[in-house]
Structure 1
Amino acid sequence: MKVGLLRAVGVATAVYGVAVTAVPDLLARPSGLVDDEGRVERATRISLRPLAWREVASGLSLALAPEGPALRTAAYIRIAADLGDAVLVGATLPGRDRRVKAAAVSVGWGALSVVGLLAGGRRQGVSRRTGVGPLRGRRR
């Protein structure tokens, strides 16, 4: 597991989530979620804030979870959220070009977490599957 990469993904997504929570237009405008005059409707801002807050929560979990099963679980949640975003925005955003770009960005972030999970060497005495080292002080 590349802990540093997972932590970096976590910090980046948490910061992005805080920014979009404060200014939902940062996500709405590039996604094409604007009216005919290019304005972001109040209802759109309201509906994007919980999505952005999910970014904060999942990002912080990656950034702060202890190494091992908790960090792996946080990465799985991040991957599921990114892949879900890719499928949903890829099917529903206005304009094919926006759908493709948004889906690619979501898949890209998910891929970084996958790489973080799969990359890296095995530490001496620590199981890659469980993240737990040998029991100490017990007879074998």
Structure 2
Amino acid sequence: MNGTAVRVLGAATAAYSAAIMIRPRWLGRPCGLTGPDGDVPTSTALLIRAVGARDLAVGTAMLLASGPSARRTATACRVAADLSDAALFGTLLPDAGRRPKIAGFAAAWGALCAAAAAAESRG
């Protein structure tokens, strides 16, 4: 394969990451990290934006990597970030009922990225 799937996943990661940096509630609401008024508290928004900045950088690296080795490295960083998110959100979100869904989404995205990288390596 020519890395198209990794690039597409990188672009999607970068786009969503930019979106949560602009509107932290797009991550805060599903995670149950909003206040009683439905807004994300300022300190929580800061951390969501930091996660977004990390993921924007990694997604952009996946998208723009110049060769298979660089794409594998960028994708490995994406997978590591997703697995750590799955572990942390899956155990520490304040609303225990949301933990499995959020952790599952993060783990699934990491698995999808890993599968795309593996397919490129085989191709």
Tell whether the structures are fold-level matches, with TM greater than 0.5: yes
Please state which structure has a larger fraction of its residues in helix.
Answer: 2
How far apart, in 1, do the equivalents of 2:82 and 2:42 lie? 25
Structure 1 ranges of 4+ moved more than 6 A? none
The offset of 1:44, in angstroms, is: 1.0
Alpha carbon RMSD of aligned pairs, Å?
1.6
Any residues of structure 2 matched to 1:1-140 within 5 Å, and which? 3-120=3-120, 122=122
How far apart, in 1, do the equivalents of 2:56 and 2:7 lie? 13
Change (3 A) 1:47 1:121: closer
5+ residue gaps, structure 1:
124-140
The offset of 1:117, in angstroms, is: 1.7
Q: Alignment length, in residue pairs?
A: 123
Change (3 A) 1:121 1:90: closer
Give the secondary-structure state (helix, strand or coil) at the position aligned to 2:97: helix
Structure number with bigger Rg = 1
The offset of 1:39, in angstroms, is: 2.7
AA of the residue aligned to 1:109: W
How far apart, in 2, do the equivalents of 1:59 and 1:90 lie? 22
How far apart, in 2, do the equivalents of 1:96 and 1:2 lie? 41
Instruction: State the TM-score, normalized to the length of structure 1.
Output: 0.81
AA of the residue aligned to 1:25: R
Identity of aligned residues (%): 39
AA of the residue aligned to 1:75: T
How far apart, in 2, do the equivalents of 1:121 and 1:106 lie? 23
Change (3 A) 1:120 1:46: closer
How far apart, in 2, do the equivalents of 1:2 and 1:89 lie? 33
How far apart, in 2, do the equivalents of 1:2 and 1:101 lie? 32
Instruction: State the TM-score, normalized to the length of structure 2.
Output: 0.92
Change (3 A) 1:43 1:121: closer
